Amino acid sequence: MSKLRVVRDAEIPPHVHGHWMAEGAGLAGLLVLALPVHRTFTPWGLLSGAMFMASNVATFPAIKSLGLAAACAVWSATAVLASLAWALLGAGDRLRSPALAAAAVLLLLAGMLGVCAAQASVPVLPVGSRCHGDEEAGAGPPAQEPLLPPGAAASDDVADCTKSEASLGGPAEPAAPLPRAAGALAAVAAGLVGGLVLAPMSHLPRVCQGLAYMPSMGMGVLLAAPLVTLARTRPADMFVKAQSPAAIWPGVVAGTVWGVGNAAAAAAAADPRVGLALAYPIMQGLGIAVAAVWGVVAFGELPGRGPRRAMAAADAAIVAGVVLLVRAKGAAP
């Protein structure tokens, strides 16, 4: 949703779009209250919501330092490893074939890294970091504008967009990027915390897991999101200037979609035949694959046969990894 023209034309800063996405994710959790299923409110769910926001915050310095593709590759791989490690060591999940699981994880990681590498070959500016005066001057459509590499000096484009973010109350970003080591640590932190976002659920009885857990997690997100956003935005500007339809509905829709997917992953993780060992790695891997295909189909990304073939091969590796991971779980009790 952040790639929609209405969002780009309005020059919505990333943290504002992220705020409304978090609101959508929180609302999706509360939608479970309308379903005829068991529900529970627990502090563990509030912790999961706060962890989701912490992971989201860590992505900003990671992207700023490493660039979108490299940061995405690092935090996605870390999330898969973290969730699988917790499932086996903390939640007590068991695998029928550890060797097959290891091969599956390698395929998943290779596929996710491949998707990010294909996207890096024709990068785009992240939402809110582009101003459209250059497009009017003939710089070309947004999907074709190259992303500034980490460490590049600030250009007039960056300076203009920094002013745009500052006008919405966000702090003026410094021209110099963060050190790459700091960006890498932020990406690892985003993946580590994001991969463990459902880990607190394993402390609850089975009846309180899955969909029953979602209202508490949704409440945690809704409580944490304004605090995180206000830390980067002046209150008056956040609640006046940032409340445009271009900021709200794309973010809320994107967050709701993510929340529904997260609820499905939680329901799967609560099933002992699936568990967290399968649920979250599959969600992470297939999520990246679907997002890449959606970018090509809906937004015409990755022009040319080479990048698209590389992405297709990476998606095939992800699907193969999912199949192997399911077989590795097998009939383990």
- Token pair of 294 as six digits: 């959606």
Amino acid at the residue 215: P
Amino acid at the residue 200: P
Question: 27 near 259, Cβ under 8 Å?
Answer: yes
Q: By CB neighbour count within 10 A (0-12 exposed, 13-18 middle, 19+ buried), where does 13 fall?
A: buried
* Distance in angstroms (rounded) separating the CA atoms of residues 21 and 254: 6
pLDDT digits (tens, 9 = 90+) for 81-105: 899 889 888 888 888 888 998 999 8
Q: pLDDT at residue 9 above 90?
A: no
Max Cα-Cα span within the chain: 63
Q: pLDDT at residue 160 above 60?
A: no
CA 248 to each of CA 7, 22, 53, 277: distance values in angstroms, whole numbers, following the listed order = 10, 11, 17, 34
* Amino acid 80: pLDDT: 87
* Amino acid 121: pLDDT: 63
pLDDT digits (tens, 9 = 90+) for 300-333: 777 778 888 888 898 899 889 888 988 888 744 4
Task: Give the angle subtended at the CA of 269 by the CAs of 220 and 278, to the nearest 5°.
Answer: 125
Q: pLDDT at residue 162 above 50?
A: no
* Distance in angstroms (rounded) separating the CA atoms of residues 229 and 164: 17
Among candidate residues 247, 228, 203, 221, the one with its CA nearest the CA of residue 29? 221
CA 6 to each of CA 81, 142, 250: distance values in angstroms, whole numbers, following the listed order = 36, 12, 9
Residue with tokens 């705020």: 19
Residue with tokens 């304004």: 226
257: Cα separation from own chain's centroid: 12
Q: How many CB atoms lie within 10 A of CB 135?
A: 15
Residue with tokens 């035949």: 273
Among candidate residues 171, 266, 228, the one with its CA nearest the CA of residue 23? 228
* Amino acid 308: pLDDT: 85
pLDDT digits (tens, 9 = 90+) for 230-239: 776 665 555 5
Question: What length is written for the chain?
Answer: 333
Question: 287 near 111, Cβ under 8 Å?
Answer: no
Ranking 42-51, 175-184, 230-239, 250-259 by mean pLDDT, the lowest is: 230-239
* Amino acid 199: pLDDT: 92
What is the rounded average pLDDT of the residues 4-23?
A: 71
pLDDT digits (tens, 9 = 90+) for 100-152: 989 998 998 888 888 877 776 654 444 444 433 333 333 444 433 333 344 44
Percent of the chain with pLDDT over 90: 17
* Amino acid 43: pLDDT: 94
First to last CA, the chain: 40
Packing angle, helices 68-89 and 275-299, rounded to 10: 160
- Model confidence at 222, pLDDT cuts 50, 70, 90, reads very high
* Amino acid 51: pLDDT: 94
Packing angle, helices 275-299 and 245-270, rounded to 10: 150
Q: pLDDT at residue 46 above 90?
A: yes
Percent of the chain with pLDDT over 70: 72
pLDDT digits (tens, 9 = 90+) for 14-45: 777 777 888 889 999 888 888 888 878 899 99
| 175 or 179, higher pLDDT | 179
* Amino acid 11: pLDDT: 65
Q: What 8-state DSSP symbol labels residue 331?
A: T
Q: pLDDT at residue 47 above 90?
A: yes
Among candidate residues 44, 46, 74, 78, the one with its CA nearest the CA of residue 62? 74
CA dihedral 326, 200, 193, 35 (to 10 degrees): 70
* Distance in angstroms (rounded) separating the CA atoms of residues 264 and 278: 12
pLDDT digits (tens, 9 = 90+) for 265-275: 999 988 888 88
C-alpha radius of gyration, the chain, whole number: 20
- Token pair of 297 as six digits: 């189909």
